[in-house]
Structure formats: structure tokens, C-alpha cells
Amino acid sequence: MGTHPSRWPVVAGTGHRELPDDAVAWLTVGTETGPGKLVDGIRWLRDERATTTVVSGLALGFDQLLADAVLEHGDGLQLWVFIPFEEQAARWIRAQRARWAELRAAAHREVVCGVLPIDLPPAGRSKAVNRLLWGRDDRMLHEATAVMSYWDGRLTGGTHGTLLKAVERGMPGVRFNPAARRAEYLPVLDRLVPAVLYHRDCGCVADSGSLAAMSELAGRLARAGHRQWRVRREPSRRTGVGRGGQRTGCARCAADSVRVASVPK
Ligand SMILES: [Zn+2]
């Protein structure tokens, strides 16, 4: 872990709201050889990182799985819930609202981070909600030493944005990687920063991905004789890189275009 402190007293959770069923099973259901990965992770925090407190944002999906695991298997771990605004669950279905209320009531500490103005038009409401969600995430990171995340690798959305912010601040943590089916330390910053590969002369965008991935690709292209491709960071951190809608493959760069799969490693 380099210079990171090995004690993580307060750990903030961040993860996707929608998880495939097999990922939920991987996280929560034990097998003959051990408990679900999330239970494993909670115990590892407690025993190896001296964690005393886990903070959940109580959103649907990972936040609630995490809260649940802390309450059921934390064995002395405290659960804090940081609620973005009082009406967080107001538009959920009844069973979801009931579960949210249950977890909230069972928490050892509760913070309601902001106030949603009433009577906003739909567009204004969703803007205000987003602002409150980001504010809540900020507050969680501010109070935490480390992060526990379920991240599928997408460079867009709230989980990515929160992880990016945490790594920029130098916070340590662990990430459940569903594709690899393992828990790992947080990625380095260059693997979280969105970037595009573009042509020097015309600006056409050939590919998008993390700064690390695009830099690596540009290097491979250059070694294969395609030296006109450049990498730049994608400025919009909140929305990340869109794959569609970008100008690509004009007459000027056609000669330099090459199937990425055909570029030697
Ligand atoms: Zn072009």
C-alpha cells in the first residue's frame, strides 16, 4: 500500500445501484469454502485494517448490501448512514422503502446531508437531487479514511466519480471487481481518468477509455508506425466519455486509421 496508513478507522462505501443477480450472489452468498465476498471484505477491514465504522449512503444496490453486511456480520463494527436528503426513498416501491427505513433505524449514527426544495419542476428536481447526491458523497469521503467500492470499470456515473475523487485525494481502499471476481486495492489515478485517443491533424476520435489505457494504445500505435495519434483527458468528469457522436474517420486521418486489434502489443 505504499505510504497509505494501514489503519482505516472509517470506511465509506460506494457502488452501483444496479447489480446483476450473479454479482449479488458473489458478494452475499457463502459457499462451502467461505462466506460471500462482501462479508469477507467487512471482516478483513475489521481484522486487518482496524476499521471501527463503515459509512453507507443507503442507495439501492451496493450501498444497502454493504449496510446489511455490516449489521449482520460486522461483529462490533458501527454502521453510519449518510442520507442525501430526507425524501431519498420517497419514489421507491413499498418494499424498497421498508428496507431503507429498517437499515436507517438500525444504524448507529445517521446524518441527513441536505434539503431537497419542495415544488421543483421535474428538471429542477433531478438537478437538485444530483447536487445533493454529490454533496453527500463529498461528506462521506471527508469523514472517511478509506473506501470500499463495487465498481464494474465504467468511466461514467456516480460510482466512478466518487472513486476518482477518492483516489485524487490519495485515499486508499478496496474495490470489488465483478468481471475478475476478486477484491483488489483501488486503481491508480490514470486508470480512473477518462481520456480519448484523437488524431493530431483533424481531431477525429478513434477510441476512448482510461488515460492509462489510451496512453498505452498510443504507444503501441506509434511503435507500429502510426505516430499521429494523441491522448487527451476528457474534461467532463461527471459524465465521462461518450462513445457515440464523435467525429471519426475523415479523409485526413483515414490513412492513419488502423484496427486497434491489429496493432501489436
Ligand atoms: Zn479525421
C-alpha 201 to ligand 1 mean position (Å): 7
pLDDT at 204 over 90: no
Three cell numbers, residue 145: 479514511
C-alpha 196 to ligand 1 mean position (Å): 14
At residue 259, the pLDDT reads: 65
C-alpha 252 to ligand 1 mean position (Å): 5
User: What is the sign of the dihedral through the CA atoms of 106, 108, 112 and 113?
Assistant: negative
Last residue of a domain, one of 166, 189, 212: 189
- 87 and 51 in a common domain: yes
C-alpha 200 to ligand 1 mean position (Å): 9
- 27 and 88 in a common domain: yes
Q: What percent of the chain has pLDDT over 90?
A: 74
Q: Which domain holds residue 86?
A: 10-189
Supply the DSSP string of 14-64, one letter for each residue.
EE-S---HHHHHHHH--BTTB--HHHHHHHHHHHHS---EEEE---TTHHH
pLDDT at 94 over 50: yes
C-alpha 256 to ligand 1 mean position (Å): 9
The count of other CB atoms within 10 Å of the CB of residue 154 is 10
C-alpha 229 to ligand 1 mean position (Å): 11
Question: Which own/partner contact pairs does 21-25 have at CB distance under 8 Å and 24+ positions apart?
Answer: 23/150, 23/178, 24/65
Within a domain: 92: yes
- 211 and 179 in a common domain: no
Higher pLDDT, 261 or 135: 135
d(CA 238, CA 142): 19
- 230 and 114 in a common domain: no
At residue 191, the pLDDT reads: 97
Mean pLDDT of 212-222: 94
C-alpha 248 to ligand 1 mean position (Å): 6
**Is 73:45 a contact under the CB 8 Å cutoff?**
no
The count of other CB atoms within 10 Å of the CB of residue 113 is 18
Which domain CATH number covers 32? 3.40.50.450
pLDDT at 244 over 60: no
d(CA 138, CA 98): 26
Within a domain: 3: no
User: What is the sign of the dihedral through the CA atoms of 81, 100, 114 and 156?
Assistant: positive
Q: How many domains, the chain?
A: 2
- 98 and 53 in a common domain: yes
Within a domain: 45: yes
Kind of pairing between the strands at 205-210 and 146-150: unpaired
d(CA 165, CA 180): 23
- 112 and 237 in a common domain: no
- 136 and 45 in a common domain: yes
**Is 28:71 a contact under the CB 8 Å cutoff?**
no
Neighbours of ion ligand 1 (CB under 5 A): 202, 204, 250, 252-253
C-alpha 154 to ligand 1 mean position (Å): 26
C-alpha 203 to ligand 1 mean position (Å): 6
- 20 and 106 in a common domain: yes
C-alpha 237 to ligand 1 mean position (Å): 25
At residue 178, the pLDDT reads: 95
C-alpha 199 to ligand 1 mean position (Å): 6
At residue 51, the pLDDT reads: 98
**Confidence band for 241, pLDDT divided at 50, 70 and 90:** very low
d(CA 77, CA 42): 9
Within a domain: 2: no
pLDDT at 188 over 60: yes
pLDDT mean across residues, the chain = 90
d(CA 151, CA 61): 12
Last residue of a domain, one of 146, 166, 189: 189
Within a domain: 1: no
Within a domain: 4: no
Q: Is 93 helix (H, G, I), strand (E, B) or coil?
A: coil
- 80 and 22 in a common domain: yes
C-alpha 25 to ligand 1 mean position (Å): 46
C-alpha 257 to ligand 1 mean position (Å): 9
- 134 and 90 in a common domain: yes
Mean pLDDT of 227-240: 72
- 137 and 27 in a common domain: yes
- 105 and 80 in a common domain: yes
Q: Which residues of 79-110 are buried (b: 16+ CB within 10 A; e: fewer)?
A: bbbbbbbeebbeeeeeeeeebbeebbeebeee
